[in-house]
Amino acid sequence: MLRKSLLVLAIAASGQFAMAQQKPLTTNTGAPVGNNQNSKTAGENGPVLLEDVHLIEKLASFDRERIPERVVHARGAGAYGEFESYGDFSQFTKASLFNGKGKKTPLFIRFSTVVHEQGSPETLRDPRGFAVKFYTDQGNYDLVGNNLPVFFIRDAIKFPDMVHSFKPSPIYNKQDQERVFDFLSHQPESTNMLTYLYSNLGTPASYREMDGFGVHAFKWVNAQGEVTYVKYNWKSLQGVRSLTAAEASQVQAKDHTHATTDLYEQIGKGNFPSWELTVQMMKPEDLDKFDFNPLDPTKIWPESVAPSIKIGKMTLNRVPGNFFEEVEQSAFSPATLVPGIEPSEDRLLQGRVFSYFDTQRYRLGANFQRIEVNAPKVEVNSNNQNGAFSNRGKNSNINYEPSVTKQGTYVDSKQHEYATRKIDAETMQRAISKQNNFAQAGELYRSLSEADKKHLISNLAGDLGQIRNKVIVHKMVSHFYQADADYGTRLMKALKLNKNDVMALVASK
């Protein structure tokens, strides 16, 4: 009933309910359908005829309704809205969406869970995706982040391994905490993210009541080519509300689609959710002034180091009219950039810049950027061509550049060139020098209330207690102990561990 009510709400919200009852049924080529109830047969009791082209088309289309599921972020919901800039930030970036007070930019957002499959409960402990597509007057810009400010790993070379460990066992086809923590016990930098995830922030009450974070540092570049490193933060104006583990179980028993239900119902009622976008800024010459690497995605930038500046507000005001076409086919990538915004040297981000586009081409095809929800609102004039479902409408003989005809020649190239940076380095495969894996996790733990600390310990102990291999458990608890002695000691007591086994690992670091 909930799924049906959501569908009716979505259709009604888009103003298509009455029209859908009036349009005659046609084939995919537009021919009117004479009979949609009975197949064409050789006599009343004879076999069905292959020449019933409507039947064959209907079955063939049905057979191909599913596209490959996203490897991560498979379960999600989306909505349309707009972003309003609070001021002119052109002294920092050429990106036009931030360069005029009151300037409005249409957008599409997709919220999601990360690890679990389509149709999975939206109550599960998991990071939440927070991906925004701005339809700017310079082309599309995707700000692809999560509801938690840091991540598990710092290098993209570990991303496939991480996801493999989180996904169901290839033997038993179910998620196994022993596999998850076996991997994470070898990634001490994950301690900070795990502390966020196993707090109640890991189970948001709704998509509306959670913050969003770009996680990575990005580069803002102004017209003079000057670079400022930034981190993005979305602050929910509805406030942040989370569920305890017990509350999440109660909600899941009633509606495993609770977050989608809440988002669409609130928009349908005119209670448009909104977030303020803030940025933290850092100059290139300041990157080496701290005891951590500011380009490390397992770290936050403390407000004392880089105060947040409000730059605009996002408001969601419209539900998609077709979930598959507009939400399932929506495609995001941190490589979808506009002049004035560039990737930082963050190793995880550098891998994502390749991987996201690559997975969308596999999932949706070479022309995924021509699907309406992904298409920019400005004219596209590239020399890329053809591929499955091409609808570029090119009618020029010149599909290359340069040409004496001057067709497709880039103009004002200096204004849109990438920022320059001097590099004098040898190639290498080496970990970053300022890892500082535990300090911020300890600071986060100490900032929690006593009630939140108890929930964190209970949530972690619940999953760690399922693990049979105690070497994995001891390694994980040693990481939490190094973040904060009270943190680790409480976990030892909750798991009934021998303190000497854990402390031996701590001493060996």
Q: Across residues 422-448, what is the average pLDDT? A: 91
Question: In this structure, what DSSP letter does residue 333 have?
Answer: -
The CA distance from 201 to 89, in Å, is 32
Query: Quick one: which of 333, 335, 391, 393 has its CA closest to 363?
Result: 333
Q: Which residues contact 366 (CB under 8 A, 6 or more apart)?
A: 386, 387, 388, 390
Rounded to whole angstroms, how far apart are CA atoms 322 and 13? 11
Give percent helix, percent strand, percent coil of the chain, each to the nearest 5: 35, 15, 50
Classified by CATH at the fold level, domain 76-153+202-370 comes out as: Catalase HpII,  Chain A, domain 1 (2.40.180)
Q: Strands (DSSP E) along 340-450, which ranges?
A: 341-343
If one compares 240 and 14, the residue with the highest pLDDT of the two is 240
Tell me: pLDDT of 469 over 50: yes
Residues 4, 5, 10, 14: is their CA dihedral positive or negative?
positive
Q: How far, in Å, are 153, 207, 216, 427 from residue 430 at the CA level?
A: 15, 38, 20, 9
Considering only 231-240, 322-331, 419-428, which range has the smallest mean pLDDT? Answer: 419-428
**Confidence grade of residue 28 (pLDDT, cut at 50, 70, 90):** confident
Give strand pairing partners of 282: 229
**With bands split at pLDDT 50, 70 and 90, how would you rate the model's confidence at 405?**
confident
Report pLDDT digits (tens) over 153-164. Answer: 999 999 999 999
**Paired tokens of 487:** 């943190």
The most distant pair of C-alpha atoms in the chain lies apart, rounded to whole Å, by 85
List the binding residues: 356
Q: What's the Cα-to-Cα distance from 292 to each of 287, 297, 302, rounded to whole Å?
A: 9, 11, 11
Q: Give the 3-state secondary structure of 109-164.
A: EEEEECCCCCCCCCCCCCCEEEEEEEEEECEEEEEEEECCCCCCCCCHHHHHHHHH
> What angle, 0 to 180 degrees and rounded to 10, lies between the N-to-C axes of helices 470-483 and 450-464?
160
Other Cβ atoms less than 10 A from the Cβ of 48: the count is: 13
> For position 410, what pLDDT does the model report?
66
Statement: residue 437 has pLDDT above 80: yes
Residue 25 · residue 32 · CB < 8 Å: yes
- The pLDDT tens digits for 75-104 are 999 999 999 999 999 999 999 999 999 999
What pLDDT, in 10s, does the model give residues 316-367?
999 999 999 999 999 999 999 999 999 999 999 999 999 999 999 999 999 9
Lowest average pLDDT, out of 254-263, 394-403, 465-474, goes to 394-403
Q: What does the pLDDT read at residue 422? A: 84
Contact 325, 99 (CB under 8 A): no
Contact assessment for residue 506 and residue 464, using Cβ atoms and an 8 Å cutoff: no
Residue positions in the annotated binding site for heme? 356
Is pLDDT above 80 for 264? yes
Active site includes 317? no
Tokens encoding 115: 């690890």
CB 356 within 8 A of CB 368: no
- In tens, the pLDDT along 176-202 reads 999 999 999 999 999 999 999 999 999
In this predicted structure, the answer to whether residue 409 has a pLDDT above a threshold of 80 is: no
Report the pLDDT value the prediction gives residue 385, as an integer from 0 to 100: 81
d(CA 157, CA 416): 31
Question: Looking at per-residue confidence, does 389 or 123 come out higher?
Answer: 123
**HSE-CB of 504 using CA atoms within 13 angstroms:** 7
The whole-number pLDDT of residue 433 equals 92
* Average pLDDT value for residue range 114-120: 93
Task: Please give the structure tokens belonging to residue 228.
Answer: 């400022």
User: Are 239 and 209 spatial neighbours (Cβ–Cβ below 8 Å)?
Assistant: yes
3 state SS of 241 = coil
Q: Where are the domains of the chain?
A: 2-36+50-63, 76-153+202-370, 439-508
> What is the predicted pLDDT for the residue at 408?
66
Percent of the chain with pLDDT over 90: 74
Mean pLDDT, residues 123-136: 97
Residue 186 annotated in active site = no
In the block, residue with structure tokens 């009633």: 254
Mean pLDDT, rounded, of the chain:
91
Q: Facing residues of 309 across strands?
A: 279
* Interatomic CA distance for residues 356 and 131, integer angstroms: 12
Q: What confidence score (pLDDT) does residue 18 get?
A: 44
Q: 54, 116, 140, 146: which is the annotated catalytic residue?
A: 146
Tokens 């010459």 — which residue?
285
Q: Are 61 and 32 in contact (CB under 8 A)?
A: no
Confidence band, pLDDT 50/70/90 cuts, at residue 1? very low
Q: In this predicted structure, what is the pLDDT of residue 412?
A: 65
Strand partners, 133: 108, 142
- pLDDT score of 502: 92
Distances in Å between the Cα of 410 and the Cα atoms of 86, 94, 406, 461 are 31, 18, 9, 58
Catalytic residue among 54, 73, 258, 474: 73
Instruction: Please tell me the distance from the alpha carbon of residue 226 to that of residue 390, in angstroms, as a whole number.
Output: 38
**Least confident window among 119-133, 216-230, 273-287, 373-387:** 373-387
Residue 4 has a pLDDT of 47
Q: How much is the pLDDT for 16?
A: 44
**Any alpha helices (H) in 127-277, and if so which ranges?**
159-166, 177-184, 191-197, 245-254, 258-268
What pLDDT is attached to residue 429? 82
Write out the two tokens for 60: 């063939």
Quick one: pLDDT band at residue 301, thresholds 50, 70, 90? very high
pTM of the shown model: 0.90
